[in-house]
Structure 1
Amino acid sequence: MQFIKYLTLGVALSVGNINADANESIVDETQIETAKQLVQTALKSDLGFQIVESLTTEVGPRLAGSEAEKRARAWGKELGEELGFDRVSVEEFTMPFWDRGELELSLTSPYQQALYGTALGGAAPSKKNINADVVYFRDIHALMGVAEGQLKGKIAFVDGDLMVKSQTGAGYGQANQRRRVGWQHAERGKASALMVRSVGSDSHRFPHTGMMSKNDDKWASIPVIAISNPDADHLRRLHNLGKPMSVELSSSSKWKGEVNSGNVILDLVGSETPEEIVLIGGHLDSWDLGTGAVDDGAGVAITTAAAALISKLPKRPKRTIRVVMFGAEEVGLLGARAYAKKHEDNLKNHVLATESDFGAQTIWQLVSNVNSEANPLIDEIGKVLSPLGIVRGGSEVPGGGPDIIPLAAKNVPTIRLNQNGMDYFDLHHTPDDTLDKIDPEELAQNVAAYAAAIYLAADSDVDFRKPLP
């Protein structure tokens, strides 16, 4: 396996003598200057792009629980060792493995036409080829009103609207309901299968996959297929013309038992308070239709590269910086939950956490959810990031990223460097999630922001933690 050859950083990083009185300033001029140097170094470095290029090219798609995700963990461990992290480890956990299998899907009435679709995570296989009439539902709310047994022997199709492109991804949660819970209502109606409009904002014939929700700890017992937005548009037009529709499908997706997954842990050990941890990361797994460049190879690359640049300083920051490449995020935050459980007794020492998992476009906003007395430091971080086009947002914004949810639930403070997600739902969970969608300069801006922000947080004595409720 060919790995990244670590490059000369281009700008010398240094730490001067600290003369400021800590009681007079929450952050001193030397730390500010070091953070600014990190920004300039990161903007001139292509390390982040090298990392995501290596992951997507040498490992490829990384379905949670698959052999490819196992190879990705080996890749992450080797990368951490090559980049000089002080501690590198893999924390394994077990998980159920769902495999996509093969899908054949076509319109058979009013005429023959291939449809572009993909099985949704957790879907059952078809026991035999299904060729059945389609019952159209304008949206998920219409399907929710179906009577028990009303759809027996039919294929339900839930339409919806194309997601509006948005910097923040607004609208995803509502649109995602048809993907997550539609199967429960289709099964109540005794449907043979369910098709849903893809949850995405693109107009290409690329279906969007994703995980469904369980119901009383049970998964779907019927095939559930997401079809591309243009195909959904086509079915709507046929319905509006009053044309009876039939579809033939055969799907072999299924659960395949328990397997191992894991989280890759890379530590830069703090120089003064190593027991205190500033955690950053992204998720190592991806859906298998593309190569997982945007979701979330970019996040792994951004956070790893940022920490690697900090590692080249003459002295480690006071606190430990921990990069976590979370496993099995796409199938229910399994790696994040496993991490929170394994480190439950030490979460009080996790002083700050954040994740990069919203693509690879530029960061535009810094938000936080920390002790009010720590907000002045977050404000100072905001000032350092301002030349990157990043504005200081809210100071009581829960979050930090999907994999940070289990930590935040245990009172771990968070920040979030919000990215421009205008193209995110064009790409994520589709065959179009590939390396060519990442702009190296935009990725470098992300690395610069993370490097400066995390350095200042880790080299601080400020307590970000809120009092326990």
Structure 2
Amino acid sequence: MTDLTERTDWIGETFTSTAGWDLLEDLVDIGNRMAGQPGEREALERVRDALAEAGCRNARIEEFDLQGWVRGSSRIDAPGGEQDCIALPRSPSGTATGDLLDLGYGLPEDFENADVEGAVVMVSSTVPDHYERFIHRREKYYYAVQEGAAGFVFRNHVEGCLPPTGSVGTPGAPIGDIPAVGVSAEVGARLARRAEGDEITVEVECETPDATSGNTMAELGPDTDEELLVTSHADAHDIAEGAMDNGAGTATIVEVANALAANEDALDTRVRFVAFGAEEVGLVGSSVEADRTDRDAVKAIVNVDSNVFGRTLKLHTHGFEDLTAAADRVGERFDHPVATIPEQNPHSDHWPFVQTGVPGYMVSGKTEGRGRGWGHTFADTFEKLEVRNLREQAVLLAALVADLADDDTDVARRDPADIAAAVEAQDLAEGMKVTGDWPYDDDGNLAE
């Protein structure tokens, strides 16, 4: 292999390319890219065409069936009048009436210490700074379900009158159990002040049709049995442009494809680019792809999700030391910061592969504070991103993929039981069991 760092022309070409940025603008201008809806299909088609234009071969969309969800109306009736809210995707239709119970951060112990039965529970979208782990929205929702809550209100911790979205449901039961809505930090504060302990009503109207989604994919490099996966997700929530999450990641992998297509002789291993559908409703597209892929033939997966907003790349390496070493090499070669985090991160499309022992990165952008910031709100918009960041990150990731594709780069796999133990050690297993996402048996082996 010829080391990409021995050349310089591709770096200049990538840093002046408009391919990724143009695709990003196209994606956000589609509007609603919700899983299973026409805008998602249009996004998958545009990514397919962009990969083909980059020089990839066999660009295609592979479809799969999906539990659809189409937004209708939602409302909260409370003392002081109706309050603004949005339904959480995969909430069921229905009306829930009960006393408002504000559980603050919605930590597991908050649910254990409260009388939740029959209440409409409100929880924050974050956790306290001192808390050891982040608690996902779905985990909080299913604590509420288990304890007998009548309804669920998800309160944004970011100010700005921005109600947050985000799906509920489990792999086995895609539509949730109780009506669920998101409210802004301001509406949440108003509810807590005016209605704590008083009766409120949460109402959601939606449709849940059968639907179809798909994964867009294409290849570069030699036709080897072993492959590298470079992935993102093309869908987004219906309320927003989905610029950072995850138009940015999808635009980035297309820019990486352009860089590597011009240097295809630098690849010793086949690289397959995949833009998954239906990530935002439970990693559906990547789970389908993991099940139909020979995972023993996957050398590694490089999954890009919610980058560009932060300039410095942040790579969760999931305890794969060879992945940390490869990222460090790229940072050193370019004298450019690259942040690596060895911890497990089970919340994006790398996870259906990583949980089985496949080496994998979760690539995002380094930002201040916890949580999504503007993500999953109306404010995830195009003008908040910078083309400079996309281009810099595409250069680094193209070099990283070429490094991993080198025959001289070994990437050791991990036993699934070791992954399970690492997840347990981070205190993430309890929540994954609550949400139906725990794939292991009592011995840490993958369940059949």
Q: CA deviation at 1:320?
A: 1.3
Q: Is the 8 A contact 1:125 1:252 kept in 2?
A: yes
Q: How does 1:378-389 map to 2 (within 5 A)?
A: 378-385=327-334, 387-389=335-337
**Larger mean Cα displacement after TM superposition, 229-238 or 311-320:** 311-320
Aligned: 1:209 with 2:165:
yes
Q: Which residue of 2 is the match for residue 53 of structure 1?
A: 25
What are the ranges of 5 or more consecutive residues in structure 1 without an aligned counterpart? 1-17, 19-27
Q: Which residue of 2 is the match for residue 237 of structure 1?
A: 193
Provide, for residues 186-224 of structure 1, a one-character-per-residue CA deviation record: whole Å limited to 9, x for no partner: xx25x3x332323xx420111111122439747434321
Q: Which residue of 1 is the match for residue 400 of structure 2?
A: 453
Provide, for residues 396-429 of structure 1, a one-character-per-residue CA deviation record: whole Å limited to 9, x for no partner: 5555972111111232222344521338622211
Return the TM-score normalized by structure 2: 0.81
Cα 1:202–1:39, aligned 2, differ >3 Å: closer, same or farther? Answer: farther
Supply the distance in 2 between the matched residues of 1:446 and 1:80 (Cα, whole angstroms): 18
Q: Which residue of 1 is the match for residue 73 of structure 2?
A: 102
- Counterpart secondary structure, 2:304: coil
Aligned: 1:178 with 2:133:
no
Q: Is the 8 A contact 1:158 1:178 kept in 2?
A: no
Q: CA deviation at 1:77?
A: 1.8
Match of 2:91 among 117, 123, 129: 123
CA RMSD of aligned residues (A): 3.3
Cα 1:176–1:362, aligned 2, differ >3 Å: closer, same or farther? Answer: farther
Q: How does 1:290-439 map to 2 (within 5 A)?
A: 290-313=240-263, 315=265, 317-343=267-293, 346-360=294-308, 361-366=310-315, 368=317, 377-385=326-334, 387-391=335-339, 393=340, 397-398=343-344, 402-422=348-368, 425-439=372-386
Supply the distance in 2 between the matched residues of 1:100 and 1:297 (Cα, whole angstroms): 21
- Counterpart secondary structure, 2:89: coil
Q: Is the 8 A contact 2:69 2:89 kept in 1?
A: yes
Q: Is the 8 A contact 1:62 1:72 kept in 2?
A: yes
Cα 1:164–1:295, aligned 2, differ >3 Å: closer, same or farther? Answer: farther
Match of 2:388 among 438, 441, 446: 441
Q: CA deviation at 1:165?
A: 9.1
Q: Is the 8 A contact 1:180 1:211 kept in 2?
A: no
Q: Is the 8 A contact 1:137 1:156 kept in 2?
A: no
- What one-letter code is carried by the residue in structure 2 that aligns with 1:278? L
Provide, for residues 54-96 of structure 1, a one-character-per-residue CA deviation record: whole Å limited to 9, x for no partner: 1111x22211111221222222222222222122121111111
- Counterpart secondary structure, 1:102: strand
Q: CA deviation at 1:359?
A: 3.5
Supply the distance in 1 between the matched residues of 2:360 and 2:178 (Cα, whole angstroms): 39
- Counterpart secondary structure, 2:392: helix
- What one-letter code is carried by the residue in structure 1 that aligns with 2:305? D
Q: Is the 8 A contact 1:294 1:438 kept in 2?
A: yes
Q: Is the 8 A contact 1:87 1:268 kept in 2?
A: no
- What one-letter code is carried by the residue in structure 2 that aligns with 1:79? A
Supply the distance in 1 between the matched residues of 2:351 and 2:338 (Cα, whole angstroms): 24
Provide, for residues 119-166 of structure 1, a one-character-per-residue CA deviation record: whole Å limited to 9, x for no partner: 112212126xx6765344445344445558x52xxx513244766799
Q: Is the 8 A contact 2:171 2:282 kept in 1?
A: no
Identity over aligned pairs, percent: 20
Supply the distance in 1 between the matched residues of 2:242 and 2:413 (Cα, whole angstroms): 35
Match of 2:57 among 86, 103, 106: 86
- Counterpart secondary structure, 2:226: strand
- What one-letter code is carried by the residue in structure 2 that aligns with 1:220? G
Q: Is the 8 A contact 2:57 2:220 kept in 1?
A: yes
Aligned: 1:43 with 2:11:
no
Q: Which residue of 1 is the match for residue 411 of structure 2?
A: 464
Supply the distance in 1 between the matched residues of 2:241 and 2:247 (Cα, whole angstroms): 8
The number of equivalent residue pairs is 412
Q: CA deviation at 1:462?
A: 2.3
Q: Which residue of 2 is the match for residue 12 of structure 1?
A: none
What are the ranges of 5 or more consecutive residues in structure 2 without an aligned counterpart? 417-448
Return the TM-score normalized by structure 1: 0.77
- What one-letter code is carried by the residue in structure 2 that aligns with 1:121? P
Supply the distance in 2 between the matched residues of 1:375 and 1:136 (Cα, whole angstroms): 41
Provide, for residues 224-262 of structure 1, a one-character-per-residue CA deviation record: whole Å limited to 9, x for no partner: 1121111111222235xxx76454544212422x22111
Q: Which residue of 2 is the match for residue 25 of structure 1?
A: none
